[in-house]
Amino acid sequence: MDAGLSVERVSENLLRFLRSEIVAPGVEFDARTPLRTIGLDSISFVQMILFIERHHGVSLSESLLTAENLESVAALARRVCAVHNAVCSSLETTGENLGCRPERYASP
């Protein structure tokens, strides 16, 4: 399993991305702030999901894009790590895990 992927790491990366690319300057928020309160629109959410796929190698299925999972950066980071860990565990069980690379696999 890739021990380098943690909720904290994913949260930090998402916060940096949102602050630099999506959210208007001067808007204060942290990992627990509800995303609906910081001015995100549907395009912003798509950009955020694509960022996760590119930078963390985790592809979230449509069924995981729920209001609960998209409530905050922290909630989304927890789901990303859960999917990553599930994929890596599955690969370990099948003997395919040679340095788990979840970017090769979609979420279950």
Residue ranges of domains in the chain, CATH in brackets: 7-104 (1.10.1200.10)
Which residues partner with 59 through β-bridges?
106
> Distance between CA atoms of 70 and 84, rounded to whole angstroms?
17
Model pLDDT for residues 50-77, shown as the tens digit of each residue: 999 998 888 888 999 999 999 999 999 9
**Where does the pLDDT of residue 10 fall: very low under 50, low under 70, confident under 90, or very high at 90 and above?**
very high
Which residues partner with 106 through β-bridges?
59
